[in-house]
Amino acid sequence: MKAIISASELADELAGGDPPVLLDVRWQLSLAKAAGEPPFDGRATYAAGHLPGAVYVDLDAELASAPSSAGRHPLPDPEVFGAAMRRAGVSAARPVVVYDGGQGWGAARAWWLLRWTGHPDVRVLDGGLPVWEGELSTDVPEPAEGDFRPAPAHNGLLDADGAAALARSGVLLDARAGERYRGEVEPVDRVGGHIPGAVSAPTTDNVAPDGRFLPAEELRGRFKGLGALDGTEVGVYCGSGVSGAHEVLALAVAGVPAALYVGSWSQWSSDPSRPVAVGPDPQ
């Protein structure tokens, strides 16, 4: 099953007899409080214009639990997540397409959660809203209740111990910016640096300047160069399990299965007993 869909492909499907459910997951990591600016408001952005028929999904409230010792964006309660998806019209037998404002992180979080909890057909609009050439709508749809019931998988998810072990036995990719990996800056979490053994692999390097993913063959070459060879177990983490989902999506485009450490650096760095590596090298 394809993980992404182009704008032209989506337009064709929406014009067909069995259009996918559309989810708008516009979100961005906000440092507004520190800068004295108002935080990003995804719901207001949605209200100003969205794909016709799309339902807004709040990443912080519906795709994550409240911040805790488990990280800044822990897994949502399955009942809360399931109810939100059903309100949005998500059903097990109907395709879903998710999009955001172009960065891809919010959409990837929704894609990963739906796939991990058992939905068989979820794709991300490659490039997000900026690549859409059709009209936008300000109408708020009222979809029929869906029937999707989350059934979390037994694989595809790492905890802190699993991430540490994978950094030794396989490949653990750090999807954050290189300067955060190296510990040169840390704008959000307690300390800078990375999980010992993790390899720096900024998810921003997986996309072209317009926000669309690089061709699958290029992505395969990139990940192979990072050690993600055939038969190698691969895991990903980031700051709080959002941009890491975008890297897992890029790996899926490349045909490489990968697990996600949802707690990520926000959980790891909050535990003083966890070791921290700094500098450009994994160890």
The CATH number of whichever domain residue 215 belongs to comes to 3.40.250.10
Query: What is the per-residue pLDDT across 32-77, written as a single tens digit (0 to 9) for each?
Result: 444 566 788 999 999 999 999 999 999 999 999 999 999 999 999 9
3-state secondary structure of 89: coil
One domain, residues 116 and 162: no
Residue 282, domain member (yes or no): no
Residue 182, domain member (yes or no): yes
Beta-carbon neighbour count of residue 233 at 10 Å? Answer: 14
Residue 275, domain member (yes or no): no
The answer to whether 133 and 9 have CB atoms below 8 angstroms apart is no
Calculate helix-pair angle for 216-225, 243-253, nearest 10 degrees. 110
**Residue 118's pLDDT is what?**
98
- The residue range of the domain holding 214 is 157-268
When pLDDT is averaged across residues 164-170 and rounded to a whole number, the result is 98
Catalytic residue flag (residue 238): yes
Query: What is the per-residue pLDDT across 118-130, written as a single tens digit (0 to 9) for each?
Result: 999 999 999 999 9
The answer to whether 257 and 232 have CB atoms below 8 angstroms apart is no
**Residue 185 has which token pair?**
């800056």
- Please state, in angstroms and rounded to a whole number, the distance separating the CA atoms of residues 80 and 203: 28
Residue 42, domain member (yes or no): yes
Cα 204 to chain center, whole Å? 12
Domain count, the chain: 2
One domain, residues 127 and 9: yes
- Please state, in angstroms and rounded to a whole number, the distance separating the CA atoms of residues 241 and 244: 5
Boundary of a domain, candidates 113, 131, 149 = 131
**pTM (2 d.p.):** 0.96
Residue 144, domain member (yes or no): no
Residue 140, domain member (yes or no): no
pLDDT at residue 277 is higher than 90: yes
One domain, residues 164 and 125: no
Calculate helix-pair angle for 105-116, 243-253, nearest 10 degrees. 70
pLDDT at residue 253 is higher than 90: yes
- Please state, in angstroms and rounded to a whole number, the distance separating the CA atoms of residues 16 and 38: 40
Q: Which amino acid is at 7?
A: A
**Residue 1's pLDDT is what?**
78
Q: Which stretch of 22-26, 228-232, 264-268 has the lowest confidence by average pLDDT?
A: 228-232
- Please state, in angstroms and rounded to a whole number, the distance separating the CA atoms of residues 140 and 214: 33
Edge-to-edge strand order for the sheet containing 171-174?
157-158, 259-261, 234-237, 171-174, 199-200
The alpha carbons of the chain give a radius of gyration, in whole angstroms, of: 18
One domain, residues 114 and 204: no
When pLDDT is averaged across residues 167-189 and rounded to a whole number, the result is 97
Residue 143, domain member (yes or no): no
Q: Catalytic one among 55, 238, 250, 256?
A: 238
**Residue 32's pLDDT is what?**
44
The answer to whether 136 and 51 have CB atoms below 8 angstroms apart is yes
